[in-house]
Structure 1
Amino acid sequence: MSAPLPPAPAAAAQVFGDRLPLATRYVEHLATSGIERGLIGPREQERLWDRHVLNCAVLGEVVPDDANVVDVGSGAGLPGIPLALARPDLRIVLVEPLARRVEWLDEVLADLQLPISVERGRAEEKAVLRRWVGADVVTARAVGPLARLAGICLPLLRTGGAMLVLKGASASDEIGRDKAAVHALGGGDARIHTCGAGVVDPPSTVVEIPRIGVPRRNRRKERR
């Protein structure tokens, strides 16, 4: 017999409002087929709401209104799907390279009837860049170090847009370590946001890096 599905915490109603039933249905997908098909670890079932769904949804606190959002390396739809559930004003595309994950995402989105696009591919591929370049926001969670993420996320952004990356307690150390690399890739100074105080414990740590220019190597090409 499978373990009972985790109940929605009280804070979920605050975050999702009248979309709480959809958020609950999404958690059901994560807890069943998401685990069966290897998108979520079996030990995560009891922590799906706090560690995954709400942890991602509170990212909406720092996303501008009516933004075009690209979620890179989306996996099980994190943070893109919780963000869409909490912020229906956003236009979101999930970018994921693995076919089995894309198939699962398509099934879940069809069931939830959410107007989210799914793109199979890697964010750095030319075809993906052509389709989705000019985003207001690019999100990522547990994808890699900031320097690598900047190389993936910043080219998808319009100038003035921002990458918003969910990170852990070592975010400030990572910012210091990768600052020069991020600037070389056309990123501005990083800023740390603490999101979801009173909703998730601990609150989510979000690193914001704006796109302020083009990579230095591209500037050299332009001068030629």
Structure 2
Amino acid sequence: MPSPAQEINGVRVSRETAERLSIFVSLFERWSAKINLIAPSTKASLWQRHVADSAQIFQLSPEPQTWVDLGSGGGFPGIITAIFLTEMGDGHVHLVESNNKKAAFLRSAIAETGARATVHAHRIESAVLDLPVPNAISARALADLATLLELSLPLFQRSPRCRGFFHKGRDYPSELDKAIGRFHFDLLEHRSVIESDSVILEISNVSRQPVRG
């Protein structure tokens, strides 16, 4: 939980944001007793492993902008980003989650916390064609990097200045090698402050590699 000084990852947050995060965690714990939102082995470290880890995304790009969160699942990082945006009074997160039970949880989380977000209960492949043009894209524990770029390419193409923020674990170099074989992109690697062997890959200027004859 946030410390008495109201800090997450060494960054100060307001009392209101800390309270919204606490409300979300309480709701998450109730729902996760009924439906599978995260791996059971990580529930004991929910704040650090999931909330603080997800908060890194907003902390890397703390502007009131339009986000698309792919495969939102239990709300990490999309709901966490949307809670931070609530204090700013601007910006919005479009949560894409095709599982109806998880989508219902996300709607409940928005209602309980006032998070600036909307749920799109559709498959990613169809949702990305109709979503508003984003400034940023996020995804966590969804797919390998090449697949993420394939899924999000229509969004990058509609928004040339869009940036993607993708959590990756220790095997990310091999994912990068595979993605580089299929796409051109600019890359910044941000070392995770939660897991020493994990990174957040900030990706922009994405285009498909030309097919060689």
Report the TM-score when normalising by structure 1: 0.80
| Kept after mapping to 2: 8 A contact 1:134/1:156 | yes
Q: 1:116 and 1:11 mapped to 2: Cα distance?
A: 28
Q: How far did 1:97 drift?
A: 0.5
Which of 22, 26, 29 is the aligned partner of 2:20? Answer: 22
- Quick one: structure 1 residues 134 and 215, their matched pair in 2 at CA, closer, same or farther if it must change by over 3 Å? farther
| Kept after mapping to 1: 8 A contact 2:182/2:208 | no
Q: Deviations over 1:70-122 (max 9, x none)?
A: 00000011111112223444311100001111111111211112231000112
| Kept after mapping to 2: 8 A contact 1:96/1:102 | yes
- Quick one: structure 1 residues 147 and 213, their matched pair in 2 at CA, closer, same or farther if it must change by over 3 Å? closer
Letter in 2 for 1:56: S
Q: 2:152 and 2:142 mapped to 1: Cα distance?
A: 11
Partner residue in 1 for 2:154: 155
Q: 1:120 and 1:179 mapped to 2: Cα distance?
A: 31
Q: 2:4 and 2:167 mapped to 1: Cα distance?
A: 20
Letter in 2 for 1:94: L
- Quick one: structure 1 residues 212 and 138, their matched pair in 2 at CA, closer, same or farther if it must change by over 3 Å? same
Equivalences, count: 201
| Kept after mapping to 2: 8 A contact 1:68/1:135 | yes
1:144 aligns with 2:149: no
Partner residue in 2 for 1:37: 35
- Quick one: structure 1 residues 12 and 67, their matched pair in 2 at CA, closer, same or farther if it must change by over 3 Å? farther
1:208 aligns with 2:192: no
1:101 aligns with 2:96: no
Q: 1:106 and 1:58 mapped to 2: Cα distance?
A: 23
Q: 1:12 and 1:48 mapped to 2: Cα distance?
A: 20
Q: 2:175 and 2:147 mapped to 1: Cα distance?
A: 11
Over the matched positions of the two proteins, sequence identity in percent amounts to 24
Q: How far did 1:39 drift?
A: 1.4
Q: What SS class does the counterpart of residue 121 from structure 1 fall into? A: coil
- Quick one: structure 1 residues 91 and 201, their matched pair in 2 at CA, closer, same or farther if it must change by over 3 Å? same
1:131 aligns with 2:130: yes
Q: Which is higher, the Rg of structure 1 or of structure 2?
A: 1
| Kept after mapping to 2: 8 A contact 1:154/1:211 | no
| Kept after mapping to 2: 8 A contact 1:12/1:54 | no
Q: 1:48 and 1:179 mapped to 2: Cα distance?
A: 33
Q: 1:28 and 1:203 mapped to 2: Cα distance?
A: 29
Structure 2 portions without partners, runs of 5+: none
- Quick one: structure 1 residues 12 and 163, their matched pair in 2 at CA, closer, same or farther if it must change by over 3 Å? farther
Partner residue in 2 for 1:112: 113
Q: 1:100 and 1:81 mapped to 2: Cα distance?
A: 16
- Quick one: structure 1 residues 12 and 194, their matched pair in 2 at CA, closer, same or farther if it must change by over 3 Å? farther
State the superposition RMSD in angstroms: 2.3
- Quick one: structure 1 residues 37 and 189, their matched pair in 2 at CA, closer, same or farther if it must change by over 3 Å? same
Structure 1 portions without partners, runs of 5+: 1-7, 218-224
Q: How far did 1:40 drift?
A: 2.6
Report the TM-score when normalising by structure 2: 0.84
